[in-house]
Amino acid sequence: MIREILHLDIRDFCIALERQRRPDLREWPVVVAPGQGRTVVQAVSPEAREEGIHPGMVVARARQHCRRLTVLPPDFLLYRQAQEKIVTALGRFSPLVEPASLGHFFVDTTGTRRLWGGLLDRADRMRRLVDTEFQLDTAVGVASNKLVSRVASRVVKARELCDVFPGLEASFLAPLAVNVLPGVGEVTTARLFAELNLQTAGELTRVSPMLLSQIFGTAGQRLRSMALGEDPSPVVTPKSLPMLREEVQLPEDDNHRHRLFGYLYGLVEALGRRLRSQNRCPGELALTATYADGVQARARERLAVAGCEFHLDSFLYQAALRLFTRAVQRRIRLRRLSLNVAHLQIPFGQLALFPWDDPDRGKEVKLLRAVDQIRRRYGNGAVYYGRAGRRQRTEIRRQTSEVRGQNSRGDQKCALILQKN
């Protein structure tokens, strides 16, 4: 059976949500960035794009292009909540809905003709649903696989639909530039042009697979398959496993290991505090590092036994360092770090019979309990380790839908820094 995959591309997703909160910013050049100066732009409004501003540009340089530019801090909680509501709404048409990224959704509607009519009718129903319920402009791509449907939604304007007939995937991609293929960024595009003088996907399909393998290694065959419009990957719904997530957007792209380790320790502290508050230990730890060119590197580690030490910051930090060493292999600067824990379990372990059996763990547990109590009373920034630093801690943004109030008392914040050998 030929698959019927839809890709919904909500244009300027973050900007549109911010403008719903602040209608005065409509038709005004707006960007989303975590700060000023050397921080990079994450999302751009159409008006700012006309001024020559694009994602990845430094905010200081963007202001030189447009003096009346408005810079908004990212609100990831708002974006995630809107994302989950849209997934729930699209679930009326099919149980197979995959949120690829913010503002991007794959829907597998194979076998739903008797319920919702023809394929184009289904696509138009979904587009109008997002438009009426969420006031968001959506472009829809329809094809027999995820890759082609995603490209199809990119080549049309908002509120438009592009249908690629089965069997014509390669013909549809042939005249398009190679950078429309998912995962093909500026570096790969420049290398294809410099090494092989290739600019379109059709030209890429005529290159020998052996030659592509010599230049790009194992990724060469993947490039050729994408140019032919081949993608057997299924639409996968999000897993409902218990999971906690912490993420930090670096104020500016950085590859200095000492500073990156400070940000990483800040993520570990936040996860450890949440694990201890819920009396849970992780069965799996995963790290995602996003480079400045958009490429992501991932590493994960299964934790065999859910012992009591698994929610200690020192244990989690050593595991996170191992993942960082495995994942970060390139010399390009990093833009974002994300740390996930999954397969949460109730901790168990044998208590020490004598105090001298486990002196260090006992001291660390008492210290963490005291620190957690201070933070609950005076706020997360009241006390922190010197290796994390105040700047790193203030950049951490919670990426889960769970909202927890912070009991802070303004004038009574502590200024204590814990130095750990």
Between CA 265 and CA 314 the distance in angstroms is 9
Question: Using CA atoms, how far apart are residues 40 and 54, in angstroms rounded to an integer?
Answer: 10
Same domain, yes or no: 23 and 86:
yes
Q: Highest mean pLDDT range out of 222-236, 241-255, 269-283?
A: 222-236
- 9: in domain: yes
- 65 domain-assigned: yes
Looking at per-residue pLDDT, the higher value among 405 and 300 belongs to 300
> Does any domain span residue 317?
yes
Mean pLDDT of 227-254: 84
User: What's the CATH code of the domain at 176?
Assistant: 1.10.150.20
Assess whether 265 and 382 both reside in one domain.
yes
* CA separation for the pair 207, 406 (Å, rounded): 58
**Is the pLDDT assigned to residue 409 strictly greater than 60?**
no
pLDDT tens, position by position, 326-354: 999 888 889 889 999 887 777 654 445 55
Q: Which of the two residues, 403 and 395, has the higher pLDDT score?
A: 395
* Selection from 236, 8, 16 nearest residue 124 by Cα: 8
- Please check whether residues 282 and 260 belong to one and the same domain: yes
- Indicate the DSSP class of residue 174: T
Question: Same domain for 220 and 367?
Answer: no
| Confidence band for 406, pLDDT divided at 50, 70 and 90 | very low
- List Cα–Cα distances, 231 to 145, 199, 223, 354, in angstroms: 6, 21, 11, 60
Q: Which residue has the higher pLDDT, 186 or 28?
A: 28
- Number of domains the chain is built from: 3
User: What rounded mean pLDDT belongs to the chain?
Assistant: 81
Q: Percentage of the chain with pLDDT > 70?
A: 82
CA 11 to CA 31: how far, in whole Å?
A: 14
Tell me whether residue 89 is in a domain: yes
pLDDT at residue 421, rounded to an integer: 33
Q: Is the domain of 317 the same as that of 405?
A: yes
**Cα 121 from chain centroid?**
31
Q: Say which CATH number the domain at 19 has.
A: 3.30.70.270
Pairing label, strands 296-302, 383-385: unpaired
Bridge partners of residue 105, in order along the sequence: 8, 99
- Whether 6 shows a pLDDT value over 90: the answer reads yes
State how far Cα 303 lies from the chain centre.
Answer: 24
The confidence score (pLDDT) of residue 364 equals 67
Last residue of a domain, one of 179, 196, 227: 227
Strands 104-108 and 97-101: antiparallel
pTM: 0.62
pLDDT tier for residue 412 given thresholds of 50, 70 and 90:
very low
Residues 270 and 411 placed together within one structural domain of the fold: yes
DSSP per-residue string spanning 192-228: HHHHH---BHHHHHTS-HHHHHHHHTTHHHHHHHHHT
Query: How does residue 388 score in pLDDT terms, banded at 50, 70 and 90?
Result: low
Q: How far is Cα 222 from Cα 23, in angstroms, rounded to an integer?
A: 44
* 253 close to 292: Cβ distance less than 8 angstroms: yes
User: What would the pLDDT profile of 163-193 be if each residue is shown by its tens digit?
Assistant: 999 999 999 999 999 888 887 878 888 888 8
Higher pLDDT, 193 or 295: 193
Contact 137, 10 (CB under 8 A): yes
Pairwise pLDDT comparison (78 vs 417), residue with the higher score: 78
Residues 122 and 178 in one domain: no
**Residue 24 counted as domain residue:** yes
**Does residue 129 register a pLDDT over 50?**
yes
- Asked if residue 233 is part of any domain, the answer here is no
Lowest mean pLDDT among 262-271, 335-344, 388-397: 388-397
Contact 11, 45 (CB under 8 A): no
Q: What is the bridge-based pairing of β-strands 416-418 and 383-385?
A: parallel
- Residue 391 pLDDT level (bands cut at 50, 70, 90): very low
The residue out of 144, 163, 182 marking a domain boundary is 163
Same domain, 298 and 398: yes
Do 214 and 290 share a domain, yes or no? no
Kindly state whether residue 235 falls inside one of the protein's structural domains: no
**Domain coverage including residue 297:** 243-418
Are 115 and 250 within one domain? no
Mean pLDDT of 373-390: 65
Per-residue pLDDT at 277: 79
- Collapsing DSSP to helix, strand or coil, 395 comes out as coil
Identify which of 160-164, 305-309, 416-420 has the greatest average pLDDT.
160-164
**Two tokens at 321?**
């360092």
pLDDT at 240: 56
pLDDT at 101 over 60: yes
Pairwise CA distance, residues 12 & 154, whole Å: 12
Residue 280's pLDDT is 80
Whole-number Å distance between alpha carbons of 181 and 151:
7
* Domain endpoint, select from 135, 163, 191: 163
- Do 277 and 158 belong together in one domain? no
Q: How far apart are CA 395 and CA 401, in angstroms?
A: 18
Residue 380's pLDDT band (cuts 50, 70, 90): low
Residues 178, 55 share a domain: no
Is residue 361 a part of any domain in this protein?
Answer: yes
pLDDT at 278: 80
